[in-house]
Amino acid sequence: MHHLLGRLSASDPEAGDILRVVAYFDTLLARGSGVEGLLRGAAVLAGCTAGAETAGRVRRRDPGGQRPPDRPGAPRGPLRSGPHWAVWLERDGPASVLDEMIVERLAFGVEFLETHRAPTGFDAVIDEARPLAERARHLPRFHLTPSTPVRVLATASDAPELGAPSAVMPTRYGLLRATLDVSGRLEAQGATGIGPWVRADRAPESWEEACIAYRLTDAHDPVVDASELGAILMLLRAHDPHAPHPDVRTLDRLDERSAHVLRTLVEADSIRSAATRLGMHHSTVQARHEALVETLGYDPRTHTGRLRYIAATLLQRLTGTPPEG
């Protein structure tokens, strides 16, 4: 499928996008997501609020996975409905070319769940948008009480299951697998974000931080424990990957060579030692440093500049291409 998507994207970008939508929802269903998970996925793909009504209950999610404020009279289009369900998008302004396909696949998923099976329930345990009492009702299914210490692991959506309750969840960073850990001994293969230990009725907090930790993994640090990030988490939680900070956008615009020179300048004790590490003449590196200061809008070799650069690189990981599983 990935190979086919790559070929289609090169020859026909619109067809490639449509196939991605289909694959996205198929993955959600195959991995056990319920209506809430499908709604979050639809909202992420569409970039606007998605809604569903099943058995007389209306549920809505925005692209951040939250329950948006009620909007009486909000537009509902496209809309699909069946005997006991309806789904829609709430988009202000012109429709996207993918809206019809997103609602079509959302409708298929909701109808499938309504007529064939119930959701696994684990997605409800880590859904921060659900009321506490509603989340708590699902805990006994997993032999948990509200005060049981748990943590949640985040791995790639196609990562092997670990023999513990799990579900593939749409997040701000794409599809990720959430796995419940009550023993502290679960070990995933590949990139893994580990959430902090919390009470079971606060599992969404562990899941959110596990997702952030997952996005900070790389080849050198394939496992990142959110509990070791300390105050940095405050910065990372506030970051919106769909609206990156200007410092992040500036780093994104650098070519690979400039980014390497910048990183070396930040890490080296002096410009002369940076030149030695880069195999470049001191005056050349000095000129590159001055050009980078102008591009960045700050000097990355000062104490404040280093902190600003480090913060921007961490936020850049939350914005760019996810790590490989």
The set of residues, in sequence order, having a beta carbon less than 8 Å from that of 41 and lying 6+ positions away, is 24, 25, 28, 33, 106, 170, 175
Confidence of residue 3 (pLDDT cuts 50, 70, 90): very low
Strands 223-225 and 198-199, bridge-based pairing? unpaired
Higher pLDDT, 36 or 259: 259
Q: Is the pLDDT of residue 284 over 80?
A: yes
Instruction: Centre a 10 Å sphere on the Cβ of residue 83 and count the other Cβ atoms it contains.
Output: 7
Confidence of residue 219 (pLDDT cuts 50, 70, 90): confident
180, β-bridge pairs: 152
Q: Is the pLDDT of residue 122 over 50?
A: yes
The set of residues, in sequence order, having a beta carbon less than 8 Å from that of 53 and lying 6+ positions away, is 59, 85, 86, 87
Instruction: For residue 250, give Cα distances in angstroms to 274, 284, 287, 288.
Output: 22, 22, 19, 16
Using a pLDDT cut of 70, give the percent of the chain over it: 90
Most confident of 19-23, 62-66, 89-93: 89-93
Decide if 49 contacts 39 (C-beta within 8 A).
no
In tens, the pLDDT along 134-143 reads 889 999 999 9
Q: Which residue has the tokens 């996810």?
A: 322
pLDDT at 95: 83
User: CA 109, CA 87: separation in Å to the nearest integer?
Assistant: 10
User: CA 41, CA 178: separation in Å to the nearest integer?
Assistant: 15
Token readout for 174 is 């794409």
Considering only CA atoms, which of 238, 232, 254 is closest in space to residue 307? Answer: 232
User: CA 85, CA 161: separation in Å to the nearest integer?
Assistant: 31
pLDDT at 88: 95
Instruction: Centre a 10 Å sphere on the Cβ of residue 265 and count the other Cβ atoms it contains.
Output: 26
Domains and CATH numbers, the chain: 2-67+76-119 (no CATH), 129-233 (no CATH), 246-319 (1.10.10.2840)
Give me the torsion for CA of 49, 250, 208, 160, rounded to 10°.
100
Residue ranges of E strands in 131-271:
149-156, 166-171, 174-181, 192-194, 198-199, 223-225
Q: Is the pLDDT of residue 324 over 60?
A: no
Q: Is the pLDDT of residue 61 over 80?
A: yes
Q: Is the pLDDT of residue 7 over 50?
A: no
What average pLDDT does the segment 45-57 reach? 89
pLDDT at 79: 92
Most confident of 74-78, 130-134, 209-213, 321-325: 209-213
User: CA 39, CA 62: separation in Å to the nearest integer?
Assistant: 9
Q: Is the pLDDT of residue 187 over 90?
A: no
**pLDDT, the chain, mean:** 86
pLDDT at 123: 84
